[in-house]
Structure 1
Amino acid sequence: MTLPFVLRANERGHDVISSDGPTSSYVAGHPGAFISRESSFNFHQYQGGRPGFGPIRVFGDETFHGAGCGYNMHPHHNFVICAFVLEGELTHINTAGEGTVDRLRQGDYYVFSAGSGGKHCELSISPENMNAIYLWALPNQLYLPPTYHRSHFDLRTRRNQIVQLVGDADGALPFPQDLRVSRLVTDRKGAFAYTLRSAEHGVYFFVVDGSLTYGATVLGRRDSLGVSGAQTLEFEVADTTDVLIVETAMVDDERIRAWEKEQPQAA
């Protein structure tokens, strides 16, 4: 069983990647543009935290600052990448299938399965900043054909209910792994229960905004909690709360088990 862990907003890894200097070939944008990244798990230069959660390897809270800022065209393979746009506009170009040029705004999200090999480019064309949550996970099968799917979560009409966005539910975007992403946006206080597929699954709660209480643990804005070994998770949220809920099979990963042994028992 994975030990419960709490990750506060200020405990995440922090990176700033500039469009100038040695990273200019990777980061797009006018001079002075930059990407700020808050990482829940180890990613690139940040290696001081948890290695992952189940097959999840990246959970990044990223903001593109400045006109034209973003990532120039670059390759991936054998990763599944999701982006959930919170603010601004994201122009996403990818090579899956016959290729796609997509513009995503608040509430839009995508699943890009790079599989056997694909490239993509992500840019904030408008002068306003773009903020998105990025999730990367390992697929359940290597070298699958690359695919791209996108959809929209309507914050106005789907309030006060847990809505599955990604996974195997009707209307959810397909994901080649035993993984589901749901979202809960509230405009009033309430109690909710999330039922997992099995006790061998785990859930990662990420509070986009507002607050969530699980047992004696209170999470605020951008705080997160990982827990497994339970069938149903009961929690309460304050009004105007926005939560991403990621459920996944808990794969046996030696690096994660080693990290857990070094941590104090969670309260």
Structure 2
Amino acid sequence: MSQSFILRNEERGHDLIKSDGSRSSYIAGHPDGFVTRASSFNFHEYQGGRPGFGTIRVFGDEVFHGAGCGYNMHPHHNFAICAFVFGGQLTHVNTAGEGMVDQLRAGDYYVFSAGSGGKHSELSITTEDMQAIYLWVMPEQLYLPPAYHRGHFDFRRRRNEIVMLVGDGDGALPIPQDLRVSRLIADRGRSFRYAPRTASHGAYVFVREGRIGCAGEELGYRDSMGLSGVAAVDIDILDDDSDILIVETIMIDEANIKTWESEHAGH
């Protein structure tokens, strides 16, 4: 049975978080700096208009405003976290393996699988605002060893094609879940079809820039749509330079999700 929903940009959770008071231990930077966050789903302090979709718990675009702004070192466990950078520079310090310091710019992205436990810090240390989309995914197996992988999307060479960034495709970054993240930058008048792997998989389609027709509905800037139980998702590009992210996820029982969330409230 097919199911779908549309989430308009204005229906998402929109937050401005300053580095002051009790938040200063988590939000890095001068008190004049701040993080803006627009969240598609409702997970603890990540507020949005609806619960998660499949294994997705968090999907939000964030901007770090001000040099030194971001998140101080903090722990995670049993989460796979992805960040896709679209502007500025993200300095990412993490403890996976022997630990590393990574610097990511537009087109770069990472998968940090916290597994049995890991810490990381994410900072914008330049004066340019850092823009990224964050995706948090429930892992398929708990307490795996922490791991970190990073990649780059070359929008000049991979235009007008659906490119898998995360998942089990050639050149994609691995993630401990039945999930794939693809990106499409396309020109007006083009049409594409995305086919989920099985009827048990759903697709979350997010319009970062531009305007598209998706499954017979028009989606604009920061609008999104979730579909499950469909054989394919048809996407028509209505504006030049439209930039779309597609997250394909196995659909899981909502009761299992609630049990998992109550056991992992500290994420």
CA contact (8 A) 1:196 1:247 kept: yes
Structure 1 residue ranges, 4+ long, deviating more than 2 angstroms after superposition: 43-49, 254-257
Find the counterpart in structure 2 of residue 26 from structure 1: 26
Q: How does 1:139-158 map to 2 (within 5 A)?
A: 139-158=139-158
Q: CA deviation at 1:48?
A: 5.7
CA contact (8 A) 1:43 1:58 kept: yes
Specify the code of the residue in structure 2 equivalent to 1:158.
Answer: R
Specify the code of the residue in structure 2 equivalent to 1:151.
Answer: G
Report percent identity of matched pairs: 67
In structure 2, the CA distance between the partners of 1:229 and 1:84, relative to structure 1 (3 Å rule), is same
- Partner-residue secondary structure (3-state), 1:254: helix
Find the counterpart in structure 2 of residue 265 from structure 1: none
Moved more, 39-48 or 118-127: 39-48
Cα root mean square deviation, aligned:
1.5
Q: How does 1:1-267 map to 2 (within 5 A)?
A: 1=1, 3-47=3-47, 49-238=49-238, 239-254=240-255
What is the distance in 2 between the residues matched to 1:135 and 1:113?
12
Find the counterpart in structure 2 of residue 264 from structure 1: none
For residues 180-220 of structure 1, give each alpha carbon's deviation from its aligned partner in whole angstroms, at most 9, with x where no partner exists: 00000013420100111101100000001001102331000
What is the distance in 1 between the residues matched to 2:168 and 2:48?
33
TM-score, with length taken from structure 1: 0.93
CA contact (8 A) 2:11 2:48 kept: no
What is the distance in 1 between the residues matched to 2:15 and 2:211?
25
CA contact (8 A) 1:82 1:109 kept: yes
Specify the code of the residue in structure 1 equivalent to 2:233.
Answer: L
CA contact (8 A) 2:40 2:48 kept: no
Find the counterpart in structure 1 of residue 264 from structure 2: none
What is the distance in 1 between the residues matched to 2:141 and 2:117?
13
- Partner-residue secondary structure (3-state), 1:183: strand
Equivalent residue pairs, number: 257
Specify the code of the residue in structure 1 equivalent to 2:158.
Answer: R
For residues 103-161 of structure 1, give each alpha carbon's deviation from its aligned partner in whole angstroms, at most 9, with x where no partner exists: 00000000000000000000000011111000001000000000000000011111000
CA contact (8 A) 1:51 1:256 kept: no
What is the distance in 2 between the residues matched to 1:160 and 1:182?
12
For residues 22-74 of structure 1, give each alpha carbon's deviation from its aligned partner in whole angstroms, at most 9, with x where no partner exists: 21110111221111111100033355621100011000111101110000000
CA contact (8 A) 1:160 1:188 kept: no
Find the counterpart in structure 2 of residue 262 from structure 1: none
Unaligned stretches of 5+ in structure 1? 258-267
CA contact (8 A) 1:191 1:234 kept: yes
CA contact (8 A) 1:112 1:147 kept: yes
TM-score, with length taken from structure 2: 0.93
What is the distance in 1 between the residues matched to 2:190 and 2:130?
30
Specify the code of the residue in structure 2 equivalent to 1:225.
Answer: M
In structure 2, the CA distance between the partners of 1:99 and 1:200, relative to structure 1 (3 Å rule), is same
